[in-house]
Amino acid sequence: MKNIRLIVTDLDGTLFTTDKRLPPDFDEVLAELNRRGIAFAVATGRNFKGIDHYFTDKIKDMYFICDNGAFIMEHDRLSHCVTIDRDLCHRVFEAVKEKGDIDVLACGLKGTYYTHCCPEMQYTMDNYYAPVTFVEDMCRIDDQLFKISYSDFNGGPIASGSYDYMVENFGNELSIHPSGGIWMDSMHKTINKGVGVKALQEMLGITDDETLVCGDFYNDIPMLENAKNVFVVAGAPDDVKKYATKVVKSNDEYGITEAIKEYILK
């Protein structure tokens, strides 16, 4: 892996530890990658305002593929965003209301919006999104939305069937992916993390052979399945591990930075 010019990694469950910390050697590794001219990006289901505080003094040295590929920051500048048609958003909100047992939040250019505030939703608002706005009616949001996320507290979207419900109703119009635990995300039909990686590669003039991608969960598969160089962390589901060219140590063992040092920087 000596020809790598771009590294893209998922955050939660991959680069971050379970308690949402960066590996202790992250600053050292990022500085060395920059010194060697190797671009570094994170690809996450979170929005930029929900993660920028982790990278305050490093934003100028990184790229950010956020909201599963719908929103790309080139250092501290928005360079790419794909929004969802307003009428489609309204139909999604009505379908969620009709189903009745999943909550919804929506990410737009001005912020994140939600209608229900149970303790679990409040935790998500406090830790993953900013700025956030409570609205009585999602259909009255005055913003351009690029991601709609759903929380299912009945065993998660796959076990409870809410994922199948959304795919059945909107699978032809939206890109829908489980994103961890109780959550699933939907974006414009053309959008996923793989599309986000392609967009960044085109911006930088970098090929698949020169790119390393790292992940751990189902919403990472679109960026793993066509990649030539793939790290998947231990503890990932077996049907995600099958895309790995190398299974590395777990996120709590700092597997990604350890593997970058061993296979890229050594």
Give pLDDT tens digits for 186-245. 999 999 999 999 999 999 999 999 999 999 999 999 999 989 999 999 999 999 999 999
Helix (H) / strand (E) containing 145: strand 145-151
| 1 in any annotated domain | no
End residue of a domain, out of 170, 186, 202: 186
End residue of a domain, out of 136, 164, 186: 186
Q: State pLDDT tens for residues 31-58.
A: 999 999 999 999 998 889 889 999 999 9
d(CA 200, CA 57): 22
pLDDT for residue 180 is more than 90 = no
Per-residue confidence band for 159, with pLDDT thresholds at 50, 70 and 90: confident
d(CA 58, CA 181): 29
The count of structural domains within the chain is 2
Q: Mean pLDDT of all residues in the chain?
A: 93
b/e map of 208-226 (b: 16 or more CB within 10 Å)? eebbbbbbbbbbbbbbbee
Contact 189, 214 (CB under 8 A): no
Residue 164: domain span: 100-186
Contact 153, 160 (CB under 8 A): no
| 90 in any annotated domain | no
Does residue 196 share a domain with residue 77?
A: yes
| 13 in any annotated domain | yes
C-alpha 80, offset from chain centre: 15
Q: Which of 34, 148, 32, 37 is nearest to 88 (CA)?
A: 148
Count other C-beta atoms under 10 Å from residue 119's C-beta.
Answer: 7
Q: What is the pTM of this model?
A: 0.85
Q: Is 129 helix (H, G, I), strand (E, B) or coil?
A: coil
End residue of a domain, out of 186, 213, 230: 186
153, two tokens? 């507290």
